Amino acid sequence: MFRSPSTDGFELLTSFGTRARLGALVSDFYAGPTARFDLGNALVVDLLTGTLENVTDLTLFGGANALAIESAPDIWEIVQAASAELLAPGRYQLTRLLRGQRGTEGAMGNPTPAGAQVVVLDDSLASLPIAEADLGIPWNWRIGPASRPVSDETYVAQAFTPAGVGLRPFSVTHVEQPWRTPRTAGDLTIRWTRRSRALAADSWGGLEVPLGEELEAYEVEILDGATVKRVLSANATSAVYTSAQQTADWGGPLGPGDTLDIRIFQLSALVGRGAPKTVTLIL
């Protein structure tokens, strides 16, 4: 693989020795639950090369049978499948699914249409050695056989700007519902639980997932439909929406029975806002 910031002067960035397993969806693939098995959907794919097979749950939890599905242009959901049934040469029906893996729950299509690209995530793939300074630069890429020069007609030309999507913080989780504890009108403390991209976050032994960013920082948007009424900043897993702020935004403090739409982002010093978590709070 070669790259250049212009249309000439291409330099070799990296090379690959194996072929990825690529395919496409045979039928529409609908949204499903996260953080538990999706037993209601079946993922039917046609693979151009390679095979798939059943795996145990323990092997699945170790990362096996993972596929990236392009639910929209440049948006990919990562799905894992415990069961793989061969329906015809190259065609598999995958069930007992884990959806939205590695923080991609927001990438689910509803549905992802038939014909969408599928890539099996295995050792044949490798990350491009892109430096942080290269993010946001509109590079031109050339991909082709290593035995031929970069100018050869067999090379595919592609323009692509690395955005560092893999560096975005995951969305937060377990946003606390105020109605679970008695309260009166006044300051509202919004609480949530941090997630982390670090593989160590999967450990059952830790009390809290490790912080994957240089600094811990969040933004909480107070929403009125599609309008952002206010943005709260926090450096811990909670933010206070004061009574004075509520009065300025809504004409008075929010009380029991009211609802409040919010959107929470964890921040990265490198790529900015992470994946959003949108919740309706019931006071």
Asked whether residue 194 falls in the same domain as residue 120, the answer is no
Does the pLDDT of residue 227 top 80, yes or no?
yes
pLDDT confidence bin for 33, thresholds 50/70/90: very high
Structure confidence at residue 281 (pLDDT)? 97
Residue 128 in any domain: the answer is yes
Asked whether residue 190 falls in the same domain as residue 272, the answer is yes
What CATH code is carried by the domain that includes residue 246? 2.60.40
Structure confidence at residue 203 (pLDDT)? 67
Residue range 249-254: mean pLDDT, rounded: 95
Structure confidence at residue 69 (pLDDT)? 98
Structure confidence at residue 185 (pLDDT)? 82
Asked whether residue 159 falls in the same domain as residue 183, the answer is no
pLDDT confidence bin for 252, thresholds 50/70/90: very high
Asked whether residue 137 falls in the same domain as residue 8, the answer is yes
Asked whether residue 16 falls in the same domain as residue 142, the answer is yes
Asked whether residue 257 falls in the same domain as residue 125, the answer is no
pTM for the model stands at: 0.85
Asked whether residue 141 falls in the same domain as residue 267, the answer is no
Does the pLDDT of residue 56 top 70, yes or no?
yes
Q: How many domains does the chain have?
A: 2
Domain that holds residue 205: 178-282
- What percent of the chain lies above the pLDDT cut of 70? 97
pLDDT confidence bin for 228, thresholds 50/70/90: very high
Structure confidence at residue 166 (pLDDT)? 86
Asked whether residue 7 falls in the same domain as residue 68, the answer is yes
Residue range 13-20: mean pLDDT, rounded: 84
Asked whether residue 274 falls in the same domain as residue 183, the answer is yes
Q: 125-129, 207-211, 270-274: which has the highest mean pLDDT? A: 270-274
pLDDT in tens, 184-205: 889 999 999 999 887 767 666 6
Q: Could you please report the per-residue DSSP string of the chain?
A: -EEESSSS--EE-----S---EEEESS-B----SSSEE-S--EEEEESS-------HHHHHTT-SEEEEEEETTEEEEEEEEEEEEEETTEEEEEEEE-SGGGTGGG--TTBPTT-EEEEESTT-------GGGTT--EEEEE--TTS-TTSTTSEEEEE----GGGSPPPPB-PPPGGGS---SS-EEEE-B---SSGGGG-SS-SSPPP-SSS--EEEEEEETTEEEEEEEESSSEEEE-HHHHHHHHSS---TT-EEEEEEEEEETTTEE---EEEEEE-
